[in-house]
Amino acid sequence: MNNNLKQYATSMSIYLLILFMFSCSNDEQQQNYESPVAGIDTIYVEDVLYPYFMDAKPTYDSVFEHAKITLIPMSARRGMSLFFSDTASCVILARDYLRDEDSIVKAMSLPFQKIEIAKDGLVFFVAKNIPFDTVNLTQLHDLFTGTSPNVIQKNVKLDETICIPSMQSSEYAGILQYFSKGMDAPPITFRHFEHRDSLKAHIRKSKSIGVGLMSDIVKDSTLKAIRIGYTDSTGRRIAPQIVHPGFIVQNMYPLILPIFAYVKSEKKDLVWGFATFMEKDPSIQKVLLNKGIVPSHAKYNLIQED
């Protein structure tokens, strides 16, 4: 009898242990389960865009109480490196793939998604007191083939070197997109600044030309974005216009940059849910527009001024 009791007790212990392990496994699966509206994840955001999305995030948090998204700022190139590794499931950048990145995606048939949330613009700027206001797109192309800025304008003697944020930035990617044949680096020397605030401080006290994002530059009254004339795809000449997001809305700014959320999974997971909410929610669109970037899927009422 004692032996039977012992065997029974042993059997019950094994059964309870299996039941406990199954219960823990079930709880763990529930904790790891992720949907477009619930779960925990991290999204890496380009540093210049980070404040915009941090201001938009409280709206998202108030709607999706069971979604815990953490935003982390970093450079565009570093963010994309994490995305191609196993570290990041989503990054938000003001640029498209670079040539090497696009080649990898196509060669490996990677199932990455690109969700266009908004648009910004690549701008050239000087200090407010510098008498250099307009340029045309052909002259900018000449600038990136080595032509001196003092050849394309005669109003003031400018510093020869173009100033840009680091080569990890979306601004540099924009230069490659618009001014490099075959996406190779332009044959000129840049002066790099690790922080955009340092770049803008240098421009304010010098006679240099800087490169930045429209959303970051036009809000600074001590700096002046240079107006750009160009010839559009129909051959029509477009006169230099004031540098303003309204011309991005009308597709009348020549150097537009997309702001993409890159999502690694094909599934409609939590980061996909965050990206599509940033893309389509009217309240979010209003926040982003107030920050100076142009939501790609918002509706606009354009008023023609006399």
Q: Give residue limits of the domains in the chain.
A: 39-119+258-295, 120-256
Q: Find residue 136's DSSP bridge partners.
A: 229
**CA-to-CA dists, residue 96 to 118, 153, 154, 261, angstroms:** 12, 31, 35, 10
Mean pLDDT per block of 10 residues along the chain (306 residues) reads: 43 39 39 76 98 98 96 96 93 95 93 96 97 95 91 90 95 94 77 95 97 97 97 93 95 97 92 97 97 93 63
CA–CA gap between residue 140 and residue 178 (Å, rounded): 10
- On whether the CB atoms of residues 203 and 223 are closer than 8 A, the answer is yes
Task: Give phi and psi for 59, each to the nearest 5.
Answer: -65, -45
DSSP letter for 36, please.
T
Output 174-180 pairs: Cβ under 8 A, ≥24 positions apart: 174/94, 174/95, 174/122, 174/211, 174/255, 174/257, 175/122, 175/144, 175/211, 176/98, 176/99, 177/95, 177/96, 177/257, 178/122, 178/255, 179/140, 179/141, 179/144, 180/144
- Containing H/E element for 277? helix 270-280
- On whether the CB atoms of residues 118 and 295 are closer than 8 A, the answer is yes
CA–CA gap between residue 190 and residue 144 (Å, rounded): 10
Q: What is the per-residue pLDDT for 186?
A: 83
Q: Which of these CATH numbers, 3.30.830.10, 3.30.540.10, 3.40.190.10, 1.20.1050.10, describes 120-256? A: 3.40.190.10
Q: What is the per-residue pLDDT for 23?
A: 40
Distance of CA 290 to the CA centre of its chain: 17
Helices 282-290 and 50-63: crossing angle, nearest 10°? 160
CA–CA gap between residue 200 and residue 115 (Å, rounded): 30
pTM of the predicted model as reported, rounded to 2 decimal places = 0.86
Helices 270-280 and 50-63: crossing angle, nearest 10°? 100
- On whether the CB atoms of residues 274 and 53 are closer than 8 A, the answer is no
The predicted-structure confidence for 44-73, as pLDDT tens digits, reads as follows 999 999 999 999 999 999 999 999 999 999
Q: What is the per-residue pLDDT for 14?
A: 40
The answer to whether the 39-119+258-295 and 120-256 domains have the same CATH topology is yes
CA–CA gap between residue 145 and residue 221 (Å, rounded): 30
- On whether the CB atoms of residues 260 and 114 are closer than 8 A, the answer is yes
For the domain made up of 39-119+258-295, give the CATH fold. D-Maltodextrin-Binding Protein; domain 2 (3.40.190)
Please provide the DSSP assignment of 139-204 as one string. Answer: HHHHHTTT--HHHH--SS---SSEEEE-TTSHHHHHHHHHH-GGGPPPSSPEEEESSHHHHHHHHH
Q: Which two tokens stand for residue 131?
A: 């008498």
